[in-house]
Amino acid sequence: REEDCTLADVTMPQLGETVTEGTITRWLKQVGDPIGQDEVLFEVSTDKVDSEVPSPSAGYLAEILVPEGDTVDVGARLAVITPEPPGGTASGDGAGTATAQPTPTAQPTPTAQSEPAPAPQPAPAPEPAPAPEPKPAPEPEPAMAAPATEPTAPSRAPTDGQGGGQVLSPVVRRLLAEHDLDPSQIRGTGAGDRITRADVLAVIDARSGAGGAPARPAPAAPTTTTPPAAPAAPTPPQTPPPSRPPVVTAPTGGRDEVIPFSNIRRRTAEHMVRSKATSAHTLVAVEVDFEAVDRVRRAERERFRAQEGISLTYLPFVARATIEALRAHPHLNASVGDDALVVHRDVHLGIAVDLDSEGLIVPVIHDADGKRLPALAREAADLASRARERKLGADDIAGGTFTITNPGPFGTMITVPIINQPQVGILSTDGVKRKPVVVTLADGSEGIAIHSVGVLALSFDHRAVDGAYASRFLAKLREVLETRDWAQEL
């Protein structure tokens, strides 16, 4: 009871919806240092952003559970803060006992009483082998993908005899289990020769490049004594998660170059595969006459650049029209929940940004439904600029409800984008070109004119809406673009 009042856990924050882990790049405080609430405690790097994380409470840094360079899951315990300096609380209860509690698995295990650290009495000998770890039950939920397929790895204590007694982070243990790797055969490059996520990924890449080295036998079940050399039931490891296709090694020749995936490239790939496995992707597209937009762009281009310092592109017009269409069709500004559609009443518009062909990131224009065209243009340009300079914060990429991707400047004809989970729709704005179109003349007859024409393509989650609803959304979007008085909007 008292321990709960005197301890404050520092955990890995959620830095965006699709971010599942982060790497501690620097601790700004050391054990024993005083720290104020909201004072920056450490720096964390993800595949999306680098952020400074403030302390959740004031006190003293009593313990650091995850060293610099380690990558751990969101929610993992990173450090412990106490109201008094560590080691100085000999008053009998609380801080000293609980701070030594966590075996540095960086898992958010709830209790602080199961492991007395400063050992008031060296009597609790059964302690070192906490037989059933609190998490032995991911087995019954093979629902979602990789993390739930190997029940034995997360429930092992870090000193399970296979890693030479060293501490393994949850991410590292998960990768080892998924790829059936023996940690004792991997050289660690982290602090104190710890095995990092990068070390494991390097081994995985090398093994697949060599056509797949033979995997070690699956570890025996919950045996904690010295494992028998031949566990007579060499049950094959569980089949890989459904979302992870078997690795096909491509033949390489003397002139081929093998370029390992960067972290952001690897994470983007994982997110895309997960999205395709999650959502029932369907495409609907319309051709849009952008002549009304182009007429205003040509007239206002120089004034807008002089006033705002940015170019007046098609994107803010499409963004403004998208907001109007989402107001009329809110089920596309939504997420699929537990057997339900969660409709978001505020529009937080994500704009996909290319990071010099290294990967994609989706910063968010928050409360976009309350902003007019010039504000949308300014904010989209600012977010794109800061994204390319790696200056986005965690809040800049969080909370999106609908996404626009904009390959149009490259002259694309039609693009089939992949949904940005957990959203249910993503709009692609493709290239706008001058083309002959049929127009209605003043006397009611038809004629041929040269207009600016482009395609808008919507990928939507068929679990959330049907094709008729998605088509009505695009029809509304086209109507706004073709008929709105954009001069008045500017």
On the question of pLDDT at 212 being above 80, the answer is: no
Residue with tokens 């017009």: 317
Q: How big is the CA angle at 44 (ends 41 and 49), to the nearest 5 degrees?
A: 130
Q: What is the CA radius of gyration of the chain?
A: 27
Mean pLDDT of 354-372: 90
Mean pLDDT of 24-31: 91
Task: Determine whether 338 is an active site residue.
Answer: no
pLDDT at residue 18, as a whole number: 61
Report the distance separating Cα 300 and Cα 489, nearest Å. Answer: 12
Of 177, 181, 150, 183, the residue nearest 165 (C-alpha): 183
47-51, 138-142, 176-180, 324-328, range with the lowest pLDDT: 138-142
At 214, is the pLDDT very low, low, confident or very high (cuts 50, 70, 90)? Answer: very low
Mean pLDDT, residues 202-216 taken together: 58
pLDDT at residue 192 is higher than 80: no
Q: How far is CA 130 from the centre of its chain?
A: 33
DSSP 8-state secondary structure symbol assigned to residue 224: -
Contact 446, 438 (CB under 8 A): yes
Whole-angstrom distance, CA of residue 248 vs CA of residue 209: 9
Q: What per-residue confidence (pLDDT) applies to 16? A: 65
Predicted TM-score of the model (pTM) = 0.59
Question: What is the per-residue pLDDT for 167?
Answer: 57
pLDDT(77) > 60: yes
What distances in angstroms separate CA 77 from CA 99, 170, 192, 193, 324, one per listed residue? 12, 11, 20, 21, 43
Which residue among the candidates 4, 38, 346, 466 is catalytic per the annotation?
Answer: 466
Catalytic one among 93, 346, 367, 462?
462
Range 316-322 average pLDDT: 97
466 is catalytic: yes
Q: Which residue has better confidence, 390 or 192?
A: 390
Structure-token match 């940015």, residue found: 310
Q: How confident is the model at residue 247 (pLDDT cuts 50, 70, 90)?
A: low
- CB-based burial label for 41 (10 Å; 0-12, 13-18, 19+): buried
**Confidence band of 84 (pLDDT split at 50, 70, 90):** confident
Alpha helices of 95-179 — where are they, by DSSP H?
95-99, 152-155, 170-178
Q: Is the pLDDT confidence value at 95 over 70?
A: no
pLDDT band with cut points at 50, 70 and 90 for residue 179: confident
Q: Are 358 and 262 in contact (CB under 8 A)?
A: yes
